[in-house]
Amino acid sequence: MLHFDSDYMRGAHPEVLRRLVGTNLEQTVGYGCDGYTAQAEKLILEACGLENTGKVVFLVGGTQTNATVIDSFLERRQGVICAETGHINVHEAGAVEFTGHKVLTLPSHEGRICPRELESYLQEFYKDETWEHMVAPGMVYISFPTEVGTLYTLSQLEEISAVCRKYELTLYLDGARLGYGLASDGCDVTLRDIARICDVFYIGGTKCGTLFGEAVVVRDASGWKHSLSAVKQHGALLAKGRLQGVQFEALFTDGLYLKISRNAIDKAMRLKAGFVAAGYELYKDSPTNQQFFVLPNGKIDELMKVATFELWGPRGEERTPVRFVTDWATTDAEIDELLGYL
């Protein structure tokens, strides 16, 4: 059976695992105060160009990271703006509201928010004399890549950032699949661009090579004091914090993170080309590791005997959108076998 359901189906990249195994019996202090974590932070800040100003906070998973960061950067009375399709709005069991904050939605344009619509929303909001009776926006949440595999261009990010600065909003980027965005062909954005443009973002490990772990990068370290307390209060502090340090040190040594992310893109592009060549329609034209097609229901049933993948929404009368996901470990042989069934 082939598996294209998601990018968190395997364990860690062999090099990451090798490091975990190699350090397993060492004894270090807990809670991320160890040398591996310090070294991982150093490597990440260098990669981001934030050596002297930034800070890295390691968390365990994506929903946890979103809830902890959003709650930590917002005032109590504030909410977070995102696209209707934003992960925090639809697929996190209300973890953001659980901490007391409303998710404020803008229309989704293939997973993206539009800078002009953002500005227009903010103008209307503050034009209303009764705005204090409503939830004031305090942050903009964007995903890169988005939940449907698309990317923002550099100029789109700059425009969103300009609006955020004008209205004093924190700009937060969810990089659960950051590597798969940065490594894709059309991407004109670098890690340093993101680190320069966003106030806070995270580099996803879980989907890009680690067993678990997300590295939150804060552009200005003074923006998140006492992060350890906040992380612990959210139940997100790992006793053996070095596990995150060891894994991210491996990922940020010799460019491993982007290298293994690129594999997913190569395989995704072969997969897309194969489906298109076989005459199937794209549901979204995604440059990243999630690929969306519209397939006849008969073909879906046939493929499901040999591969796992997700229906993207309810089954249609005759045809249904589907999603296939590649990852850092997907092989050409797997793609060949899948395409052979088309």
Binders of its own copies in range 297-316 (CB under 8 A):
314
| 243 is a contact residue toward its own copies (CB under 8 A) | yes
| 92 is a contact residue toward its own copies (CB under 8 A) | yes
CB of 238 to its own copies, least distance (A): 6
Applying CB under 8 A, among 97, 110, 119, 158 the residue interacting with its own copies is: 97
| 102 is a contact residue toward its own copies (CB under 8 A) | yes
Q: Give CA–CA dist 178/257, Å, rounded.
A: 10
- Per CB under 8 A, contacts with its own copies among 133-192 are 133-136
Applying CB under 8 A, among 46, 240, 285, 306 the residue interacting with its own copies is: 240
CB of 141 to its own copies, least distance (A): 15
CB of 26 to its own copies, least distance (A): 7
Applying CB under 8 A, among 27, 52, 333, 340 the residue interacting with its own copies is: 27
Applying CB under 8 A, among 35, 46, 51, 100 the residue interacting with its own copies is: 100
Residue closer to its own copies, measured from CB, 72 or 184: 72
| 107 is a contact residue toward its own copies (CB under 8 A) | no
CB of 234 to its own copies, least distance (A): 6
Phi-psi region of 168 (alpha: psi -120 to 50; beta: other; left: phi over 0): left
Single-letter amino acid code for the residue at 334 = E
Residue closer to its own copies, measured from CB, 157 or 322: 322
The pair phi, psi for residue 306, each rounded to 5°, is -120, -10
Residue bearing tokens 């661009």:
193
CB of 181 to its own copies, least distance (A): 18
| 24 is a contact residue toward its own copies (CB under 8 A) | yes
Residue closer to its own copies, measured from CB, 78 or 161: 78
First to last CA, the chain: 15
Residue closer to its own copies, measured from CB, 102 or 259: 102
- Per CB under 8 A, contacts with its own copies among 52-91 are 60-65, 67-68, 71-72, 75-77, 79, 90-91
CB of 153 to its own copies, least distance (A): 29
Single-letter amino acid code for the residue at 185 = D
Q: Give CA–CA dist 159/153, Å, rounded.
A: 10
Residue closer to its own copies, measured from CB, 43 or 246: 246
Q: Tell me, by CB under 8 A, how many residues bind its own copies.
A: 76
Q: From residue 160, how far is each of 81, 169, 171, 199 by CA, in Å?
A: 12, 10, 8, 12
| 98: CB partners within 8 A, 6+ apart | 67
| 295: CB partners within 8 A, 6+ apart | 280, 303, 319, 320, 321, 322
Q: At what angle do helices 242-251 and 14-22 cross, to 10 degrees?
A: 140
User: Judged by CB under 8 A, which stretch of 45-53, 130-138, 152-160, 248-256 contacts its own copies?
Assistant: 130-138
* Cis peptide, bond prior to residue 145, ω within 30 of zero: yes
| 238 is a contact residue toward its own copies (CB under 8 A) | yes
CB of 279 to its own copies, least distance (A): 28
- Per CB under 8 A, contacts with its own copies among 199-228 are 206-207, 211-212, 226, 228
Buried-exposed string 308-318: b where 16+ CB fall within 10 A, e elsewhere: ebeebeeeeee
Applying CB under 8 A, among 15, 23, 114, 154 the residue interacting with its own copies is: 23
- Per CB under 8 A, contacts with its own copies among 258-297 are none
Q: Give CA–CA dist 306/245, Å, rounded.
A: 38
**Burial class of 11 by CB neighbour count within 10 A (0 to 12, 13 to 18, 19+):** middle
Contact between 99 and 64 under an 8 Å Cβ cutoff? The reply is no
